[in-house]
């Protein structure tokens, strides 16, 4: 038996660390004091999300939640660069939204088959000492360590993509309708909550395709989590239209059909106000179980007084199904597209983007790029310290520390690394 439908998952992703650069000098016969020839480290692999239409949910991430790409190889002498690490590709269904667990911000929205997004970049390889040779620095005796790969926890949320969502109380006939007008084979039975997972089916008329989703679990209080509501209401958000099914054979519904209709409408609108603007087809189902057909005419008039057109169907006998199918194709062509999820473009992080905060007797420097730089440097090497001092002066960090009150000898912390401030170096 298949596991239950999984539409949310939390995973840890880490790009591969970059390989270390090499500190090396040429040593060849008859060539004295050869120059620097240390090669660069290879870049770490990326963790990539890719949409695959063959994936239905996020079940695979229930059993494995940690994904790390391979690191880059280290550089060698004779200017030999290290190999690049291999990427990891994680396949997700179309309709997957990715959120940063730390900030809660959306990162990407994967909607089309084959779409890719690098969710964790691999670190760049450290430069070998050959790259640090300048007219004033002929013998660089240092190289960079590899840059650490990005790492983060992300939340994957699947919101299935369908043209129409079939909604209604349990046992209204949603699954029966889906099996009648598409090739889908949902579970059908006479007890509530027969359908425990969203089920997709495709209607086809020539070149026109309409994707339908049977969305389970709607009862009064669904927007608060009653029934299975909160689990699956989100899957209606991306549908372009609704097919609202009502079991008209129920005596209570016959007495007050508008109340039954408005109960579901209220749940949808309370969950998301945008539901109110979706085109809707109201279907009164199971008319084969209604003995007095005059009741149907009265019910139709009640809905008309509210400005609502209805269709009568029986999924058991097939009555009204052809008319409903035509109506679905018509609505599907006229319904507006669902607005795309807007992911704000984050500005590229620069090494000059940093802050300086004083804490006790230390000055803490925070900044994504500058912390990455510190992780690549060996502060026990005097040549590295001299190089960093010039780098910090060039990007304005030395001035920022002085303005914050730092004096020679004060402790500076960048990326967990401690060193003494010496502005005269």
Q: 261 and 293 share a domain?
A: yes
**183, 208, 225, 160: which is closest to 6 by C-alpha?**
160
pLDDT reported for residue 32: 56
Regarding whether 92 and 220 lie in a shared domain, the answer is: no
pLDDT band at 188 (very low <50, low <70, confident <90, very high): very low
Tokens of 90: 């994680």
The model's pLDDT over 328-359, given as tens digits with 9 standing for 90+, comes to 999 888 888 877 777 877 777 888 899 999 98
Place of tokens 């229930």: 62
- pLDDT confidence of residue 345: 74
Q: Is the pLDDT of residue 116 over 90?
A: yes
At 240, is the secondary structure helix, strand, or coil? coil
pLDDT value of position 255: 87
Least confident of 121-130, 134-143, 311-320: 134-143
Domain count, the chain: 3
CATH of residue 134: 2.70.210.12
Q: What confidence score (pLDDT) does residue 216 get?
A: 73
CA atoms 87, 90, 95, 96: torsion sign: negative
Are 227 and 326 in the same domain?
yes
Residues 365, 240: one domain?
A: no
Confidence band (pLDDT; 50, 70, 90) for 144?
very high
**So what's the pLDDT on residue 226?**
44
Q: Same structural domain for residues 190 and 309?
A: yes
* Residue-level pLDDT at 239: 87
Q: Which of 182, 168, 354, 345 is nearest to 264 (CA)?
A: 168
Residue 33 has pLDDT above 80, yes or no: no
In a domain, 70, yes or no: yes
**Please, are residues 375 and 381 in contact by the beta-carbon 8 Å criterion?**
no
Higher-confidence residue of 178 and 92: namely 92
Answer yes or no: do 153 and 176 share one domain: no
Q: What is the DSSP track for 235-287?
A: GGTT-SEEEEEEETTSHHHHH-HHHHHHHHHHHHHHH-GGGGGS-EEEEEE-G
**pLDDT tens digit string along 211-252?**
888 877 565 544 344 444 445 677 788 888 999 998 998 888
Do residues 265 and 231 share a domain? yes
What would the pLDDT profile of 354-405 be if each residue is shown by its tens digit?
Answer: 999 998 889 999 999 999 999 899 888 888 888 888 888 899 999 999 999 9
Residues 9 and 17: their CA atoms lie apart, in Å, by 25
Establish if 339 belongs to a structural domain: no
Q: What angle do CA 403, 405, 409 make, to 5 degrees?
A: 120
The owner of tokens 């520390």 is 401
Residue pair 70/82 in contact by the 8 Å Cβ criterion: no
Residue 288 and residue 363 share a domain: no
Residue 126 sits in the same domain as residue 14: yes
- The reply to whether 348 falls in a domain is no
Expressed as residue numbers, the domain containing 137 is 1-158
Q: Write down which residue in 334, 369, 397 finishes a domain.
A: 334
Considering only the C-alpha atoms of the chain, give the largest distance between any 2 of them, rounded to a whole number of Å: 110
Nearest residue to 210 via CA among 57, 335, 54: 335
Q: What is the pLDDT of residue 238?
A: 84
Alpha-carbon span 108 to 91, nearest angstrom? 14
Question: Would the pLDDT of 254 be above 90?
Answer: no
Do 280 and 373 reside in the same domain of the chain? no
On whether both 71 and 47 belong to a single domain, the answer is yes
**Cβ contacts of 255 within 8 Å, gap of 6 or more:** none
């Amino acid at each position: 038996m298949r596991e239950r439908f999984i539409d949310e998952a939390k995973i840890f992703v880490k790009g591969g660390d970059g390989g270390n650069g090499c500190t090396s000098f040429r040593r060849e016969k008859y060539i004295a004091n050869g120059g620097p020839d240390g090669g660069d480290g290879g870049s770490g692999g990326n963790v990539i999300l890719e949409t695959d239409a063959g994936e239905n949910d996020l079940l695979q991430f229930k059993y494995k939640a940690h994904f790390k790409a391979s690191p880059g190889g280290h550089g060698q002498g004779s200017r030999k660069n290290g190999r690049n690490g291999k990427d990891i590709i994680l396949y997700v269904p179309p309709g997957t939204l990715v959120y940063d667990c730390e900030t809660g911000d959306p990162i990407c929205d994967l909607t089309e088959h084959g779409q890719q997004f690098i969710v964790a970049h691999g670190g760049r390889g450290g430069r070998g000492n050959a790259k640090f040779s300048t007219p004033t620095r002929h013998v660089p005796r240092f190289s960079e360590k590899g840059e650490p790969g990005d790492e983060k926890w992300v939340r994957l949320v699947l919101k299935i993509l369908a043209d129409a969502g079939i909604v209604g109380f349990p046992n209204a006939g949603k699954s029966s309708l889906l099996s009648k007008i598409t090739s889908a084979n949902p579970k059908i039975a006479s007890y509530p909550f027969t359908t425990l997972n969203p089920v997709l089916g495709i209607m086809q008329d020539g070149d026109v395709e309409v994707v339908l989703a049977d969305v389970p679990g709607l009862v009064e209080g669904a927007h608060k989590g009653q029934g299975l509501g909160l689990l699956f209401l989100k899957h209606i958000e991306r549908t372009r239209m609704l097919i609202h099914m009502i079991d008209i054979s129920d005596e209570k519904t016959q007495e007050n059909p508008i109340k039954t209709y408005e109960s579901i409408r209220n749940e949808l609108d309370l969950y998301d106000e945008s539901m109110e603007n979706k085109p809707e087809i109201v279907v009164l189902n199971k008319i084969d179980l209604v003995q007095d057909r005059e009741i149907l005419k009265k019910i139709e008039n009640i809905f008309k007084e509210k400005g609502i057109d209805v269709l009568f169907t029986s999924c058991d006998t097939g009555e009204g199904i052809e008319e409903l199918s035509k109506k679905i194709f018509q609505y599907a062509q006229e319904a507006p597209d669902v607005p795309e999820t807007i992911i704000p473009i984050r500005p590229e992080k620069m090494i000059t983007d940093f802050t300086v905060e004083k804490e006790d007797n230390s000055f803490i420097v925070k900044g994504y790029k500058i912390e990455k730089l510190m992780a690549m440097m060996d502060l026990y090497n005097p040549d590295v310290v001299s190089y960093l001092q010039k780098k910090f002066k060039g990007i304005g960090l030395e001035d920022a520390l002085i303005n914050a009150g730092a004096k020679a000898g004060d402790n500076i912390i960048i990326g967990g690394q401690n060193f003494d401030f010496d502005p005269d170096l």
